[in-house]
Amino acid sequence: MCFGNPYTATFLPKLPAVLVAYEVSDFTERAVARGIAGEIPIGGKLPISLPGMFPIGHGLTRAAR
């Protein structure tokens, strides 16, 4: 998970996946936790590239369980 600056993920280049939330707040942290737990859907695409990891537009969508 990266909150705020998605480029921090490039410091861990062997990660198979990264969940990026472009805001740091209690609300965002709770929403990410709920998404990981399957309580709410997750979806999005990167508006930037993470060099050596993921290209612009890479993303996914997961439905809630």
**How many structural domains compose the chain?**
1
pLDDT value of position 15: 83
> CA 5, CA 55: separation in Å to the nearest integer?
16
Average pLDDT, the chain: 92
5-26 per-position pLDDT tens digit: 889 889 988 888 889 998 989 9
* Contact (CB, 8 A) for 5 and 24: no
Predicted TM-score (pTM) of the model is 0.78
Q: How far is CA 46 from CA 1, 34, 39, 51, 65, in A?
A: 14, 20, 22, 12, 24
Domain extent at residue 38: 2-62
